[in-house]
Amino acid sequence: MSNTSLDLAKIRADFPILQRKVNGQPLVYLDNAATSQTPLPVIEAISDYYKNTNANIHRGVHALSQEATEQFEEARKKIQTHFNAKHAHEIILTSGTTHAINLVANGFAAFLKAGDELIVSELEHHANIVPWQMLCERTGAQLNVIPMTEDGTLDMGVYHSLLNEHTKVVFVNHVSNALGIINPIDHIIEKAHAVGAAVLIDGAQAAPHIVPDVQALDVDFYTMSAHKICGPTGIGMLYGKAEWLGKLPPYQGGGEMIDQVTFKKTTYADLPHKFEAGTPNIAGGVGFGAAIDYMRRVGFDAIAAHEHELLQHATEKLNQIDGLRIYGDVAKKVAVISFNVDGIHPYDIGTILDKMGIAVRTGHHCCQPIMDHYQIPGTVRASFAFYNTHDEVERLVAGVEKAVRMLR
Amino acid sequence: MTITEKQEEIVAEFALFDDWMQRYEYMIELGKSLPLIAPEYKTDDNIIKGCQSKVWAHAELEGDKIVFTADSDAIITKGIIAILIRVFSHQHPKDILAADTNFIDEIGLKEHLSPTRANGLVSMIKQLKMYAIAYQTQLS
């Protein structure tokens, strides 16, 4: 195994949780697609905020409020820079990806009517299916599905045939959370725009591995959650082109999002505040900014190179286990391996791995349509981060081998 | 044997093992002896849904005792069910209602009965008790 440019010992020292034991064994954390771990600089940024700055933001005349506002808005600028949005006010801070998708889906109720069509993919997380189904129920619009092919990639031929002048919104994930497959979103966006449809890309699973350039992609909406990139839970972002965010009606009413309030009529604040009703997760925002700083310091190129090595190593070794099948084992994917072993329930494998201190996810990964496609109850999913090591890959493989011996 | 005696017997059996692997291997072995639910009762209506594994359970009255049968698609879940059914089956409804499942903690399998585990076992225990209530009413 070649060495990448990451100093793993130094990186791992930044993550206190990676030093702990689980069931008497050193923790091997391979559930990064569910949530990533939090490094000291992020923990300290949040802690410092509460120790030194805590105040409510915007409109406060006192020093703390102004400092808190500056820190929160500084985080927004970091997010803007990272995703290369044209304007900081195109970044809406939400509670996470689910909130961001609901915000957009809810807003589209104002534009849709019966006979309009929406396109989703079979690979989606429930968070990028259900809000749109609710929208269809409200508006009478129809939901069409891009199916998966057997290897887990999307059937682009069907996608092309689904697009027409009635198509209003296309929403697809950048990376599939259940399988790790990278979808051809540049192509999907281009084709959707050709028929005048807007596109929302759920970037929750791409964000830890890929730096999307929202301007180059020309995407209308892009969503992600901070906790997938070593940030805190409860904070995420919606990127939206200013022209779209200007047109969308507000999602929630309250303080912060208003311009003038009278009982006759309320006018709304400008972007981004129009979509940020109430006191936001200020410390979360500060932590989000610190997480972006941290990830960029480690370097996304080095992260991608190291994770690719881990993926190759694990794929090769796991494929040697008799009866083991990897779902979505294609070239364009991130370091996520979803698998089953013939005749063994994924829950059983996950339970045995947990006893050995190895954290994986089992189940349908909030993607029941994918499991239905393969006619399986779920999979075991090992998802890697840049702080994982080749030794941990070996422990996973040995753990699965042991589980198979016990369970067969 | 009473429920308490059966529980003590199982605790004694598990006390022979030194580590989790032996306990799990024994539990998996016990799963193979589970009195399986008859195919006609293994229907979608009878599934006790856990997010992770599925459980089916059925009960019938034999005299004044309840006899349970069950199944699961996950072998570890099946092992725990086998242990629970060994304790609760062939018992009087009122004894089933009065019993608890604390012995599961003693044999080191506590985490499997956690409501956060989503394996259907917590709902299954509720279901066993519901059967006991129903048959208790029928008997009295």
Residues A179-220 pLDDT 10s: 999 999 999 999 999 999 999 999 999 999 999 999 999 999
Place of tokens 């048959």: B135
Contact (CB, 8 A) for A339 and A380: yes
Q: Residues of A near B (CB-CB distance < 8 A)?
A: 23, 344-345, 347-348, 351-352, 355, 362-364, 377-378, 406-407
Share of chain B above pLDDT 90, in %: 66
Residue from A25, A344, A345 whose CB has the most chain B CBs within 10 Å, to mutate: A345
The answer to whether residue B120 scores a pLDDT higher than 80 is no
Selected residue of A348, A356, A362, A405 to mutate for chain B interface (largest B Cβ count, 10 A): A348
pLDDT for res B51:
66
* A345/B75 touch (CB, cutoff 8 Å), yes or no: yes
CATH of the domain at B89: 3.90.1010.10
Q: What is the mean pLDDT of residues A320-331?
A: 96
Residues B5-19 have a mean pLDDT of 94
DSSP-derived letter for residue A1 is -
Chosen from A351, A353, A404 to mutate, greatest number of chain B CBs within 10 A: A351
CB-based contacts of A245, cutoff 8 Å, min separation 6: A89, A90, A92, A271, A272, A274, A275
pLDDT band, very low/low/confident/very high, at A321 (cuts 50, 70, 90): very high
Among chain A residues, the shortest Cα distance to B51 is held by A363
- pLDDT, residue A95, reads 97
Q: In Å, what is the CA distance from A376 to each residue of A123, A268, A367, B39, B54?
A: 15, 48, 12, 21, 12
C-beta of residue B25 within 8 angstroms of C-beta of residue B109: no
Which residues in chain B are closer than 8 Å to A406, comparing Cβ atoms? 21, 24-25, 28
Architecture of domain A43-296: 3-Layer(aba) Sandwich (3.40)
Task: Write the pLDDT tens digit of every residue in A96-109.
Answer: 999 999 999 999 99
Phi, psi of A301 (to 5 degrees): -70, -45
Judged by a CB distance cut-off of 8 A, whether residue B47 touches chain A is: no
What span, in angstroms and rounded, lies between the C-alpha atoms of B5 and B3?
Answer: 5
Give the pLDDT confidence score for residue A107 in this predicted structure. 96
Q: What is the pLDDT of residue A24?
A: 94
Distance from CA of A357 to the nearest CA of B (A): 12
CA distance A350 to chain B (A): 10
Other Cβ atoms within 10 Å of B30 Cβ, number = 19
A–B CB contacts, 8 A cutoff, strictly below: 36
Question: Mapped to the 3 state alphabet, what secondary structure does chain B carry?
Answer: CCHHHHHHHHHHHHCCCCCHHHHHHHHHHHHCCCCECCHHHCCHHHEEECCCCEEEEEEEEECCEEEEEEEECCHHHHHHHHHHHHHHCCECHHHHHHCCCCHHHHCCCHHHHCHHHCCCHHHHHHHHHHHHHHHHHHHC
Band of the pLDDT at A1, cuts 50, 70, 90? Answer: very low
* Of A8, A95, A84, the residue nearest A309 (C-alpha): A8
Q: What does the domain layout of chain A look like in residue ranges? A: 8-30+299-407, 43-296
Helix (H, G, I), strand (E, B), or coil: what is residue A232? coil
Predicted confidence (pLDDT) per residue in A45-77, tens digit: 999 999 999 999 987 899 999 999 999 999 999
A348 contacts in B (CB within 8 Å)? Answer: 74-76
Domain that holds residue B69: 3-139
Percentage of chain A beyond pLDDT 70 is: 99
Distance CA(A397)–CA(A341), nearest Å, equals: 12
Average pLDDT, chain A: 95
Could you tell me where the beta strands, DSSP code E, fall in A117-264?
Answer: 117-121, 142-146, 167-173, 198-202, 221-225, 236-240, 258-261
Please confirm, yes or no, whether A367 is among the known catalytic residues. no
Here the ipTM equals 0.90
> What residues have CB less than 8 Å from A404, skipping those under 6 apart?
A321, A322, A323, A324, A341, A344, A349
Backbone torsions φ then ψ of B24, nearest 5 degrees? -70, -40
Number of H helices, E strands in chain A: 14, 17
Task: Check residue A253 and give its pLDDT.
Answer: 86
Name the pairing type of β-strands A117-121 and A167-173. Answer: parallel
Is the pLDDT at A315 greater than 60, yes or no? yes
Percentage above 90 pLDDT, chain A: 90
Spatial separation of the C-alpha atoms in residues A207 and A184, rounded to whole Å:
15
Whether cis (ω within 30° of 0) applies to the bond prior to A272 is yes
Taking domain A8-30+299-407, whether its CATH number is 3.20.20.80 is answered by no
Please indicate if any CB of chain A lies within 8 Å of the CB of B89: no
A279-288 pLDDT, tens per residue? 999 999 999 9
Report the candidate in A189, A190, A191 with the shortest Cα–Cα distance to residue A171: A189
User: Nearest CA of chain B to the CA of A376: how many Å?
Assistant: 11
Count of the separate structural domains present in chain B: 1
Contact A347 B119 (CB under 8 A): yes
- According to the model, what pLDDT value does residue A2 have? 45
**Yes or no, beta carbons of A377 and B53 under 8 Å apart:** yes
pLDDT of the residue at A33: 97
Residues with Cβ within 8 Å of A329's Cβ and at least 6 positions away in sequence, in order, are A151, A152, A315
pLDDT digits (tens, 9 = 90+) for A86-135: 999 999 999 999 999 999 999 999 999 999 999 999 999 999 999 999 99
Q: Which H or E run contains A216?
A: helix A214-217
